[in-house]
């Protein structure tokens, strides 16, 4: 794997779950990582401690990207800390787990605000710091194209995000900024543990996954690290699925 020395990475949701693994993987390859988070200071401190012990450059910034004042404050901190940005990873996600017919406008709008509008707002804010050779990578979900029980709100945002990223890829590739998505299968993070019918989903995933194992946060991070490297320079507008082959089966 090619190194990422002297590159600056911003990772949303970068202190927990998949985002945490991505922050560590990029830093291990030599990148200077700024990991953004909204809630758990405890998780951020644990990541900073691990990074310090390993001699890695990871700095955490706290802010809620869905609120204007907080967004502007966080954007200001990022601008001050980074004279340029080489890698932008959109890993943060949340939302309401309800059936489609049980969703209120408020719940759907809130989920879109987190998983879609905040993504676009931050990309617009930071794109001026990105130049030829930069990467934008989004973490999506099988729920963007398939039905997962009680996942209507989050799945809708992921489907919208995938469409938006295809347009990003088309518009930014001529500038040498490559945009792609990574779509993991079921990954056992704290967010996944909140899914309704989790036990049934786990059983189905294990039964129908040809590789015989669940995808880990580290599996996802390795693909992100590859896309962020020079080796990913000619991969444009793709959604790379990491699910042990589960999507092969009807």
pLDDT at 85 over 90: yes
Asked if the model's pLDDT at residue 186 lies above 70, the reply is yes
Whether 250 is covered by a domain: the verdict is: no
Sheet order of strands, 178-184 included: 58-62, 32-37, 8-12, 87-90, 135-139, 178-184, 239-242
Residue-wise pLDDT tens digits, 133-172: 999 999 999 999 999 889 999 999 999 999 999 999 999 9
Residue 200 lies in a domain: yes
CATH number (domain holding residue 138): 3.40.50.720
Percent over 70 (pLDDT), the chain: 94
The answer to which of 20-24, 37-41, 117-121, 206-210 has the lowest mean pLDDT is: 206-210
Assigned domain for 197 exists: yes
> Is residue 3 assigned to a domain?
no
37 catalytic? Reply is no
**Is residue 16 one of the residues assigned to a domain?**
yes
Q: Is residue 2 part of a domain?
A: no
Tell me the residue range of the domain where 47 lies.
Answer: 8-245
Within-domain flag for 1? no
Model-wide pTM > 0.85: yes
What is the number of domains present in the chain?
1
Identify the active-site residue in 49, 54, 129, 158: 158
Are 221 and 25 in contact, with CB atoms under 8 Å apart? yes
Which is catalytic among the residues 151, 168, 193, 246?
Answer: 151
Residue 78: predicted pLDDT? 97
Gap between the Cα atoms of 25 and 225, Å rounded: 7
Judge whether 151 counts as a catalytic residue. yes
Asked whether residue 239 is domain-assigned, the answer is yes
């Amino acid at each position: 794997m090619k190194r990422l020395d002297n590159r600056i990475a911003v990772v949303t949701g970068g202190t927990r779950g998949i985002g945490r693994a991505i922050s560590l993987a990029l830093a291990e390859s030599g990148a200077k990582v700024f990991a953004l988070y909204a809630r758990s200071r405890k998780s951020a401190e644990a990541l900073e401690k691990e990074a310090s012990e390993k001699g890695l450059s990871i700095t955490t910034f706290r802010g809620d990207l869905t609120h204007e004042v907080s967004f502007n404050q966080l954007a200001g901190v990022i601008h001050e800390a980074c004279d340029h940005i080489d890698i932008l990873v959109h890993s943060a996600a949340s939302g309401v787990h309800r059936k489609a017919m049980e969703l209120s406008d408020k719940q759907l709008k809130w989920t879109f605000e987190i998983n879609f509008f905040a993504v676009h707002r931050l990309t617009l804010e930071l794109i001026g710091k990105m130049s030829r050779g930069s990467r934008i990578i989004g973490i999506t979900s099988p729920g963007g194209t398939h039905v997962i029980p009680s996942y209507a709100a989050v799945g809708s945002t992921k489907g919208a995000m995938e469409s938006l990223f295809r347009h990003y890829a088309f518009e930014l590739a001529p500038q040498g900024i490559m945009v792609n998505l990574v779509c993991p299968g079921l990954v056992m993070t704290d967010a996944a543990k909140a899914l309704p019918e989790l036990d049934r989903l786990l059983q189905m995933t294990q039964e129908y996954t040809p590789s015989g194992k669940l995808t880990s946060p580290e599996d996802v991070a390795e693909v992100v690290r590859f896309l962020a490297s020079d080796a990913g320079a000619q991969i444009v507008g793709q959604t790379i699925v990491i699910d042990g082959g589960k999507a092969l089966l009807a």
